[in-house]
Amino acid sequence: MCGIAGIMSAERSVNAQAVRAMTGLMAHRGPDGAGLWEGANGRLMLGHRRLAIIDPTPASAQPFVADGVTLTFNGEIYNYREIRAELTTRGHAFTTEGDAEVIIAAWRQWGEACVEFFNGMFAFALWDTDKRQLFCARDRFGEKPFLYVRGVGFFAFASEFKALLALEGVSSVIDTPRLARFLTVPADGLDRGETTLFPAIRQLPPAHAASIDLDTLTMRSTCYWSGQPAPEVRHLSAHDAANTFRDLLTDSVRLRLRSDVPLGSCLSGGLDSGAIVCLARHELGESVPYHTFSGRFPGTSADEGAYMESIAAATHPIRHDIAPKPSVLLDELAQFAWANELPVDSASQYAQYCVFRLARQNGVKVLLDGQGADEILGGYEQYFTAYLRGGGRNSPLIASRYGDALTQVQPWHAALPTGLRRLLARSLNKGSDISFGLTGDVRVERRPPPANLHEALRRDALDGFLGTLLRYGDRNSMAHSVEVRLPFTDHRLFEFAQGLPAEQLMGDGETKRLLRQAMNGILPDMVRLRWRKHGFVPPQVNWLHDGLLKAVEQVVEDPSLSALWDRRWWRSAIRRFHAGDTTQAAGLWKVLATEAWRAHFLEPAARQHKFQPLL
């Protein structure tokens, strides 16, 4: 896990000071070292910040150069040992024990198809001297960022927005309508496609690779993976499917336990993180110390302590807990906003930020986490609608376990134009839709509802909010120089689940049915058979009462409040919250978080010293 940056020019020399500044702004991503490489007679510079995880010796420092190829790489290739063994049989020799050298050898062996062999999270740029070509690639789910700018006479890339915004000519102006859409419908995300919230900055989409020609800066981009269902699993029995899935997930965990530095797991008390901790303990054995890190909310319904205890009793980890507090959040709001770079949709991301810091404070640089299981395996109760629409069998268990999952009816006013809905809401002093508190009409892309469960999962996993959740995980972990690995985003699991009948994913009123069956006898039943999903969500209403609401009031009354917000509406929302209307909590958080982002990221990024990319 690292920070990468670089600038390529068609004609002029690259300003080395600019690349140093870019990597310096990402020192948190790689505090273990920095590197700069110059090539193509000064027309190309690659920068790197190192977080040493695999082969932490100086020999593996980056940018890594071998056989006329130079690499700057962020992430991990988990199956690098298997690829290395294959390449050795094909005549390649290695001088290090790390995965960077494996990427270069794979490039020399298979060219652009090398990415198809990688099981990992990665974003990298590779310069081939002979081909005069820069090859860039990003992992299948987009766990690692690859942001870039195509300027006048240059191409620049980096792991974070702040690095690119340090370049002269790269504007910090944002796409306000897109921000408004994200605030209104977070599932549409800010991480879909090539565009970003900053029109001047683009991103390489997940599962894409790109080649940039040195002389013309022409960019050719291709998608190398589309998550096609595994055809051979369609006719597996439920028993065989569960066993096969358990083997795949176990192997995914095994690969992600490879580390030359201390590692552990996040433990929320849920099915996903609990499964990972149980499988990790089985792989490591009882004698190996294994750390878990948890966020707790004592005295509230959001606390998952009892479920954590049941998992700990079965796995005997070294436990570390933290109880995030709203007062500390306010003290750290500036650092939190600077680290995240874009507005944060939920207070749960601050709790995640605290858990990752706790790991670093205890000397653990690598964490396994359960992110991605819900979107890949059907973990949300709203998926039952798509399940039934696609022909899934109804069951009384759906209604008894998940309450309103099937009875959520759109109110009559939902079909009205936004302006009229806003007028009614303000006249009646009712409603919690955040769009009522925005100054302009928000045009939201209304995609047709998914035809079946598989389509719903594919949409959310590959083109929905999962991408935003992965960005949160990247920024919150990297803020504390911690690498987070996600066993459920192994592409083999997605292909397997997509190939199974829907009944094996959500039949008989079970969310994540496949995982529940696969973990029978491994994960305590108290967790495995828990039907209502809680999730890692702080008690946001309590937090507002404990200090956040006062901060929201100050933001709403601040003369510099963004023109995005309707001040009168939020004054009313605050009064309604004081009167006991807790439906306003999510919107009040978004006002606070978005204004904090403007004050502590957007404005500082615009004010920072700018560097000319070229000499």
**CATH number of residue 310's parent domain:** 3.40.50.620
Same-domain status, 104 and 243: no
Q: Looking at the structure, tell me whether residues 334 and 202 fall in a common domain.
A: no
Whether residue 413 lies inside any domain: the answer is no
List the CATH number of the domain containing 127. 3.60.20.10
Q: In terms of domains, do 301 and 173 share one?
A: no
Per-residue pLDDT, 185: 87
Average pLDDT over residues 134-162: 98
Whether 236 is in a domain gets the answer yes
409, pLDDT greater than 70? no
**Separation between Cα atoms, residue 44 and residue 208, nearest integer Å:** 22
Residue 613 domain flag: no
Judge if 217 and 160 occupy the same domain.
Answer: yes
High-pLDDT (> 90) share of the chain, % = 88
Domain boundary among the residues 160, 195, 225 is at 225
Shared domain for 145 and 187, answered yes or no, is yes
pLDDT of 189 above 90: no
Q: How far is the CA of 319 from the CAs of 137, 276, 323, 451, in angstroms?
A: 37, 15, 13, 43
pLDDT for 433 = 87
Q: Is the pLDDT of residue 29 over 90?
A: yes
Q: Which residue has the tokens 């303000």?
A: 426
Average pLDDT over the chain, rounded to whole?
94
Query: Is 201 in contact with 161 (CB distance < 8 Å)?
Result: yes
243 in the same domain as 175: no
- For residues 175 and 125, state if they share a domain: yes
Per the structure, the count of domains in the chain is 2
Per-residue pLDDT at 380 exceeds 60? yes
Q: What local confidence, expressed as pLDDT, does residue 421 receive?
A: 73
Residue 158 lies inside a defined structural domain of this protein: yes
Residue 149 and residue 28 share a domain? yes
244, 217: one domain: no
Considering the domain boundaries, does residue 538 fall inside one? no
**Domain containing residue 468:** 231-380+454-528
pLDDT digit string, tens, across residues 276-294:
999 999 999 999 999 999 9
Domain assignment present for residue 46? The answer is yes
pLDDT class of 146 with cuts at 50, 70, 90: very high
Q: What is the pLDDT of residue 491?
A: 98
Interatomic CA distance for residues 266 and 356, integer angstroms: 8
24 and 126 assigned to the same domain: yes
Task: For 228-256, write each residue's pLDDT tens digit.
Answer: 999 999 999 999 999 999 999 999 999 99
600 lies in some domain: no
Which of the four pLDDT bands, split at 50, 70 and 90, describes residue 224?
Answer: very high
Residue 395 clears pLDDT 70, i.e. is over it: yes
Domain boundary among the residues 187, 204, 225 is at 225
What average pLDDT score do residues 416-421 get? 70
pTM score of the predicted model: 0.96
Domain end (from 465, 495, 528): 528
pLDDT in tens, 76-114: 999 999 999 999 999 999 999 999 999 999 999 999 999
- State the virtual CA torsion across 419, 425, 431, 437 in degrees, nearest 10: 60
> Residue 331 burial by CB count (10 A; 0-12/13-18/19+): exposed, middle or buried?
exposed
Q: What is the structure's pLDDT at 426?
A: 73
Q: Give yes or no: residues 162 and 130 share one domain.
A: yes
Using the predicted structure, report yes or no on whether residue 1 has a pLDDT greater than 70. Answer: no
Q: Are residues 347 and 332 in the same domain?
A: yes
Q: What is the pLDDT of residue 407?
A: 62
